[in-house]
Structure 1
Amino acid sequence: MSLVIQPIKAIPLIQPGDNLCQILFEALAREKIDLQDNDILVITQKIISKAEGRLVDITKVEPSDKAREIAAECQKDPRLVEVILSESKEVVRVAKGTLVVEHNLGFVCANAGVDHSNIDNTQSDEEIWYLKLPLNPDESARKIRSYFKERAGVNIGVIVIDSHGRAWREGIVGIMIGTAGVPALVDMRGQLDLFGEPLLITQIGAADELAAASSLVMGQANEHIPVVHVRGFPYPLSDETSLGDVLREKGKDLFR
């Protein structure tokens, strides 16, 4: 079976408190997509964060002394830095224009995923809104998966994705930050290669690979495609998977 990634274009702008599950269900109906078992919905974190009310107006944030000190070093708004610190376990790197942290969820990224793009700041000249990542993207994905199981009777997978840079290459790529049903890792160790030799270390970041492919379809600017429907994913769904499966222990992180 071919892997098919189909954009869902019938989704309105999401507001805090919106019933995202129902909105997704109705959008799929408008697109005439009949979900089947093993289909996957890939959802950008922005619409989940918006629905969950993860917006913050930094004009109402009082920066701490630590935030002011770091802001002077990286030349960012101290109020923004305070929000980033509140979302972080540890500051990993600080340089001009750069603040890399370990997010509360456990992964390392720039600015703790706090983002200003595709946020409506046109309503007031006095407010400056940013969006934080969902508190628990795995749980957000599980709720959506359960909703479709109960309402449509289908066993689907759901992943929540975000765009991250990488320590060793230029350019951002889509990565999984929350999963329900979609295996974060597929362990190929022990399977044979083309010449009959057993694979020793190969573990496939399957959810991340799907996130990157889906991000190509979604776009990064004004495309307004926050969700894609996937059919033909080459690995079976799994109930025993989470973001934690792909998080490398700090002692094994050679780029820290």
Structure 2
Amino acid sequence: MTGLPREDVPAYRVWALPGIPEVRAGDDLVKVIASAAGAEGLPGLADGDVLLVTSKIVSKAEGRIVRAADREAAIDAEAVRVVARRGTLRIVENRQGLVMAAAGVDASNTEAGTVLLLPEDPDASARALRAGIEDALGVEVGVVITDTFGRPWRSGLTDVAIGAAGVRVLDDLRGGLDTHGNPLNVTTVATADELAAAGDLVKGKTAGLPVAVVRGLPHVVGDDGTGARALVRAPADDMFRLGTSEAVREAMTQRRTIREFTDDPVDPGAVRRAVAAAITAPAPHHTTPWRFVLLESESSRTRLLDAMRDAWISDLRGDGFSERSIAKRVRRGDVLRNAPYLVVPCLVMDGSHTYPDERRNAAEREMFVVAAGAAVQNFLVALAGERLGSAWVSSTMFCADVVRSVLDLPAGWSPMGAVAVGRASGAARERPARSASSFVEVR
């Protein structure tokens, strides 16, 4: 008994290559890998084998180490498009066309003050390794350069192919039949990714084994010139390239008025990104009638809210409310006082038209107010996309002069309420079911 399956049973072997030293800029990876593969006790390399090489050692050999005190700046330089962001985590499309976290910029296993970038052209790197191994050892192998990816809708990480040479990276089964005779219309197998994941099982993330060998799958090896670039979905076929419809619907569905917040600080960058979304709102006459006052210090929030409370109490007393009734109404402002961050959106009428007819002037202002509301709606939805809760409270509109005075705002700025921002302290209430047809009239 050999412990191996019969020859007619599909099977393959995969093993890691021990003994690979720390790779430095300028090292000859072909010599390093050939030496490790020929070590005593290992089967060596043979025609039809596939080499699975971690991108990190390729990057090091190619000198893709750069000085960067700020990793974020290095990510900016490598990214061509931000696909998704949550806090400091960014999923981006990098210059190689790969959509991944942090553009593949790695600050681990490299000297302090440096970061490691992905190979400039992973497919070219794979071709060079394949040709070098053939010259050095006289064997025809496939080469897959791998990197670690997260995946949408799935927890955990796995290795995938970012470069390949001499490997059939995709196995297109479309047009064939399954075992029941049904036509296969969409099945294309990512063979190179499957190889990368198989190698990761023996390489591991912390074992210091950056290269693995797969044997027993010679049918995947050959002169395939497409490279791993073929695994990158074309923009026209990518249903989630922008994710606009899905993301907006999800953010709008998740948006709730939150009245109780945790003490967790709010990322000012997240608020500024929400402002960037807010100012895409439509506005009359090609104007920009929005301003957002960000109250980031506790002292500024307390100063404003105290002044607003005093003004509100004065107004309520003037209206004849009892002290008990006044206290009850004032408590409604606690949602602002308990929030760790406040934003006061303001309307400016710069660029508005003036007419001799007051009716038209009133309509002009209404147009600008509607534009301000559209901007605040964008702002609230964008905050929800950042996993921040919010509550839009109208109180600043009832004491505009006080708000302008405390915040030292221009006379022409009209506060359009205040937005409390923070992390929700608990699950939001379920929104009552609403049928869109109840809000529609067709003529």
Please classify the TM superposition score into its range, dividing by the shorter chain length: 0.7 to 0.9
CA distance in 2, matches of 1:163, 1:253: 21
Aligned to 2:38: 29
Residue identity matched to 1:214: G
Distance 2:108 2:151 in 1: 19
Which consecutive segments of 4 or more residues in structure 1 shift more than 3 A? none
The residue correspondences of 1:1-256 to structure 2 (distance < 5 A) are 1-31=10-40, 32-59=42-69, 79-119=70-110, 121=111, 127-221=112-206, 223-233=207-217, 235-239=219-223, 240-256=225-241
Which letter maps to 2:150? Answer: G
Offset from partner CA, 1:151-186 (integer Å, 9 cap, x none): 222111000000011121111110000000111101
Superposition deviation, residue 107 in structure 1: 1.6
Scaled by the length of structure 1, the TM-score of the pair is 0.85
Of structures 1 and 2, the one with the larger relative CO (CA 8 A, separation 6+) is 1
CA distance in 1, matches of 2:134, 2:205: 30
Residue 33 (structure 1) shift: 2.9
Q: TM-score, normalised by structure 2?
A: 0.50
For the residues of structure 2 that align with 1:34 and 1:234, how far apart are their CA atoms? 16
Bigger-Rg structure (1/2): 2
- Which protein has the bigger helix share? 2
Query: Structure 1 unaligned runs (5+)?
Result: 60-78, 122-126
Letter in 2 for 1:8: L
Give CA-to-partner distance per residue, 1:63-98, whole Å, 9 cap, x none: xxxxxxxxxxxxxxxx22221121122122222131
What's the secondary structure of 2:183's corresponding residue? coil
Report if aligned partners of 2:49, 2:218 keep a CA contact under 8 Å in 1.
Answer: no
Q: How many pairs are equivalent?
A: 230
Q: What is the CA–CA distance in structure 2 between the aligned matches of 1:205 and 1:93, rounded to whole Å? A: 24
Cα drift, residue 234 of structure 1: 6.2
Moved more, 10-19 or 85-94: 85-94
Unaligned runs of 5+ in 2: 1-9, 242-443
Conserved? CA contact 2:71–2:107, under 8 Å:
no
The answer on whether the counterparts of 2:48 and 2:218 sit within 8 Å (CA) in structure 1 is no
Distance, in Å, in 2 between the alignment partners of 1:34 and 1:110 is: 35
Quote how far apart the aligned CAs of 1:254 are. 2.5
Amino acid at match of 1:247: V
Match for 2:77: what amino acid? S
Q: Which moved more, 1:1-10 or 1:201-210?
A: 1-10
